[in-house]
Amino acid sequence: MSAGTRDEAAVAAEPPTGLRDDVRELVVEDLTLRFGGITALDAVSFTVAPGTVHALIGPNGAGKSSCFNVISGLYRPTRDPAPREPGVRHRVRAPREVRYGDADLTALSPHKLAALGIGRSFQNIALSPGSTVRDNVLTGRHVLTRGGFLSGGLRLPRTVREERRHTARAEEICDFLGLADRLDTVVGVLPYGVAKRVDIARALAIEPTLLLLDEPAAGLNATETAQMAVTITGLRDALGISVLLVEHDMGLVMGIADRVSVLDFGRLIADGPPAEVQADPGVIRAYLGTGEDETDDETDGGATADGGGDGVPS
């Protein structure tokens, strides 16, 4: 697909309020991931329908982050060699466990995802602390723009025009996320909750049709978490895109998700609307049976997100 057309459409037209035709289905099918002898993900399947907020939850170590990292191209699925029968010709075909529309995400480098319209935020905020909010968000326009050292260095009229246009759009996105008065602020001095929104603004700047959010409420206090919930549903409603979020905070998830997938020890133990999942005995067992309530330390602690990668044995 052409990056340019997506960009033009997004900048020029009012964002469609209904379902957009460029938002595709994210399919995770029979996904297995092993680290050494440990199975982080065991034949996990679920589908993120276009235009929905889909939550991936589970206790610590359930494999949420591993799953997220496979989707965003940082990990590759583990594939067992098929049992071979002598004399039979086997068709070798990649299983394509993770697909976005027609694109096989298991075969792409992480940097190719942005051009497909997949944006992601980071659990522990991976922004450039020395750059301004505007500059950080503009980084998200990378695939939508052109130009290298010389065109940038010479400040060709075309480059300057492009720069101006994309800066306007970046500022618009910041405005949407309540960052309008922080555009010139250096990210490193921002409070955690605000920096978290900058991270999401940057992911939105690639004009995604699918937004991946890695623990958007981690490290936030109760007020900030509530704001985050409003932000997430707001951007889905306004842009008509799909959102897949990995989250600890059950309150947030149940409030905003259209569909919830629950992982426990690398297996999918439930998949359905929030109310249904909440009532599922298996889910209750997984969450309460271990004697740990994850949500507490995450929501009221606020400042100290442990940032611990769950489900990533290392």
Q: 130 to 169, contacts with other proteins by CB under 8 A?
A: 130-132, 135, 138-143, 145-155, 159, 163
Q: Which of 40, 48, 105, 127 binds other proteins (CB under 8 A)?
A: 127
Residue 137 C-beta: closest distance to other proteins, Å? 10
Q: How far is CA 246 from CA 121, 126, 187, in A?
A: 11, 16, 24
CA 164 to chain centre: 28
* Signed CA dihedral, 14, 16, 21, 26: sign only: positive
Site string for other proteins, 239-278 (x = CB under 8 A): ----------------------------------------
Could you tell me which stretch among 53-61, 178-186, 245-253, 277-285 binds other proteins (CB under 8 A)?
178-186
Compare residues 101 and 147 and give the one whose CB is closer to other proteins. Answer: 147
How far apart, in whole angstroms, are the C-alpha atoms of residue 26 and residue 36? 28
Q: Which of 39, 60, 221, 278 binds other proteins (CB under 8 A)?
A: 221
Question: Which residue type does 69 have?
Answer: N
Residue 121 C-beta: closest distance to other proteins, Å? 9
Specify which residues 243 forms β-bridges with: 53, 211
3-class secondary structure, 116: helix
Size of the site for other proteins (CB under 8 A): 87
Compare residues 172 and 296 and give the one whose CB is closer to other proteins. Answer: 172
Tell me how crowded residue 241 is: count the other CB atoms within 10 A of its CB. 25
Q: Judging by DSSP bridges, how do beta strands 210-214 and 242-246 pair with one another?
A: parallel
Q: Which of 129, 273, 282, 289 binds other proteins (CB under 8 A)?
A: 129
Residue 150 C-beta: closest distance to other proteins, Å? 8
DSSP designation for 72: T
Site string for other proteins, 180-199 (x = CB under 8 A): -xxxxxxxxxxxxxx--x--
Compare residues 100 and 122 and give the one whose CB is closer to other proteins. Answer: 122
Site for other proteins contains 110 (CB under 8 A): yes
Compare residues 138 and 243 and give the one whose CB is closer to other proteins. Answer: 138
How far apart, in whole angstroms, are the C-alpha atoms of residue 62 and residue 58? 6
How far apart, in whole angstroms, are the C-alpha atoms of residue 109 and residue 269? 30
Q: Which of 32, 52, 66, 72 binds other proteins (CB under 8 A)?
A: 72
Q: Which of 24, 64, 120, 248 binds other proteins (CB under 8 A)?
A: 120
Compare residues 28 and 144 and give the one whose CB is closer to other proteins. Answer: 144
Residue 15 C-beta: closest distance to other proteins, Å? 6
Q: Kindly state the greatest CA–CA separation across the chain.
A: 69
DSSP designation for 144: G
Calculate the CA dihedral of residues 104, 107, 110, 115 and round it to 10 degrees: -40
How far apart, in whole angstroms, are the C-alpha atoms of residue 223 and residue 240? 25
**Letter string b/e over residues 252-280, b meaning 16 or more CB atoms within 10 A of that residue's CB:** bbbebbbbbbbbbbbbbbbbeebeebbeb
Q: Which of 106, 209, 227, 299 binds other proteins (CB under 8 A)?
A: 227
Residue 277 C-beta: closest distance to other proteins, Å? 26
Contact 59, 292 (CB under 8 A): yes
Could you tell me which stretch among 33-41, 80-88, 96-104, 115-123 binds other proteins (CB under 8 A)?
115-123
Compare residues 222 and 284 and give the one whose CB is closer to other proteins. Answer: 222
